């Protein structure tokens, strides 16, 4: 018997566990198959860029915490680099090493969250997520030792960081670095040999390299498509040019490759951390910079390789104590550009998996 039906539009979100925040998709379905879709943003809009234009340069660091709140350290990092470029401030050597250590710990924490929730989207209820959260808690313990906070850190400042690491931090991070590879082995073993994960991710949601480039996609999503592009290599900042690490890339650009690139990047982050902890010099953690900065009139753009891609800050100074203009390039927002191409033709269950593999944070999308 042949059934006749008509396409229907279904709203997914803005309050839905699979949308990773207040994100709404208006999806046109023909049966279970996605025919077309319209993403709807703005439910978490807080006017961050406009608020930044009414605060002193140092006060804005706290606003950046609320962008991608899973990796607040990297938000701090991109912003203070832009301020230093605008105000021509030279950070201290020790401050730069501490910022790299904090940024790579942040990348590890963010990739663990991305991997755990991706498996949750696949239907592996709770257990893999708790495995990832177990290790993330240890990273948050280290962050708390650095700055006293576990989510919104406000740790970095123009010229370095606001305080040096306490003596207890160094043995704690050494222990973490010695134990974490074993947990990554365990996680990789669980994921790469699981038949359900292989069936649901291999060949699903393929993003061709040329489409990714045309859409300005960056981060693990771009590298999974085979494009070896990483800001830490192509435009090094702080001390990344002194550290050795590889850039993992995928071959097919599917959901499996995006997951595996993040797993391999965690190993590279451990490699970077080991070198930074070994080579960090003594000295002040921050250059003497006044709280109220008055950068000369001009403009500056600085970017970092955040866990989700290229995060950039564009600042314009008119010589006052606040930026005349602040513009944020958020990777979570830009990486949603090829969403329609990724989802059309796949079924509802695949939609959740493909969307989860992009790893966005709505705090950064809406700003």
pLDDT at 1: 64
- Looking up tokens 């340069």 gives 57
Q: Do 303 and 333 form a contact (C-beta atoms < 8 A)?
A: no
For position 68, what pLDDT does the model report?
85
pLDDT at 32: 87
**DSSP annotation string for 332-343:** HHHTTTTHHHHH
The tokens of 239 are what? 């001390």
pLDDT of residue 298: 93
Nearest to 305 by CA among 365, 223, 244: 223
pLDDT for the residue numbered 17: 66
E strand or H helix that includes residue 309: strand 309-317
H or E segment to which residue 163 belongs: none
CA angle 30, 35, 36 (to 5 degrees): 135
The pLDDT score that the predictor gives to residue 3 is 65
Tokens 């961050």: give the residue: 48
The per-residue DSSP string of 34-65 comes to EEEEEEE--TT---HHHHHTTS-TTTHHHHHH
Helix (H) or strand (E) holding 327: strand 325-329
Q: Return the DSSP state at 300.
A: E
DSSP letter string, 19-32:
GTSS-EEEEEEETT
CA-CA distance, 108 to 117, in Å (whole number)? 14
pLDDT mean for each 10 residues of the chain (367 residues): 78 74 86 88 87 92 89 92 94 95 94 90 82 90 90 90 93 94 88 85 91 93 93 93 93 92 94 94 91 92 94 94 93 91 88 88 84
Report the chain's C-alpha Rg in angstroms.
21
| pLDDT (0 to 100) of residue 193 | 81
DSSP-assigned letter for residue 251? S
Is residue 345 packed enough to be buried (19+ CB in 10 Å), middle (13-18) or exposed (0-12)? exposed
pLDDT at 62: 92
- Strands (E) in 100-190, as ranges, are 156-157, 160-161
Contact 176, 138 (CB under 8 A): yes
Distance CA 49, CA 41 (A): 16
Q: How far apart are CA 197 and CA 118, in angstroms?
A: 10
Give the global pTM. 0.90
């Amino acid at each position: 018997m042949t059934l006749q039906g008509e396409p229907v539009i279904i709203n997914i979100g803005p309050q839905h566990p699979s949308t990773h925040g207040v994100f709404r998709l208006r999806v046109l379905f023909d049966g279970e198959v996605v025919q077309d879709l319209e993403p709807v943003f703005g439910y978490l809009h807080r006017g961050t860029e406009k608020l930044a234009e009414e605060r002193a340069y140092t006060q804005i660091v706290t606003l950046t915490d609320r962008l991608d709140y899973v990796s607040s350290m990297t938000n701090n990092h991109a912003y203070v680099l832009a301020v230093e470029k605008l105000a021509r401030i030279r950070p201290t050597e020790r401050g730069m090493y501490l910022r790299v250590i904090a940024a790579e710990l942040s990348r590890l924490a963010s990739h663990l969250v991305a991997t755990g929730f991706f498996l949750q989207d696949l239907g592996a209820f709770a257990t893999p997520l708790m495995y990832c959260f177990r290790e993330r808690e240890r990273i948050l313990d280290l962050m708390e030792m650095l700055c006293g906070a576990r989510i919104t850190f406000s740790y970095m400042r123009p010229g370095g960081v606001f305080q040096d690491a306490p003596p207890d931090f160094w043995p704690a991070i050494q222990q973490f670095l010695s134990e974490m590879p074993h947990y990554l082995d365990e996680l990789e073993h669980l994921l790469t040999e699981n038949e359900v994960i292989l069936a649901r991710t291999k060949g699903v949601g393929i993003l061709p390299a040329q489409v990714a480039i045309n859409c300005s996609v960056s981060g693990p999503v771009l590298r999974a498509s085979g494009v070896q592009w990483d800001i830490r290599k192509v435009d090094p900042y702080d001390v990344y040019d002194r550290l050795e690490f590889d850039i993992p890339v995928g071959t097919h650009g599917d959901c499996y490759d995006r997951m595996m690139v993040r797993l391999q990047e965690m190993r590279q982050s451990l490699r970077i951390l080991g070198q930074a902890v070994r080579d960090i010099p003594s000295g002040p953690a921050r250059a003497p910079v006044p709280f109220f900065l008055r950068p000369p009139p001009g403009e500056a753009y600085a970017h970092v390789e955040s866990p989700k891609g290229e995060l950039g800050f564009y600042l314009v100074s008119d010589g006052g104590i606040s930026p005349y203009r602040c513009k944020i390039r958020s990777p979570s927002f830009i990486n949603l550009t090829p969403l329609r191409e990724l989802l059309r033709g796949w079924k509802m269950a695949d939609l959740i998996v493909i969307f989860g593999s992009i790893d966005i944070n709505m705090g950064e999308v809406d700003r």
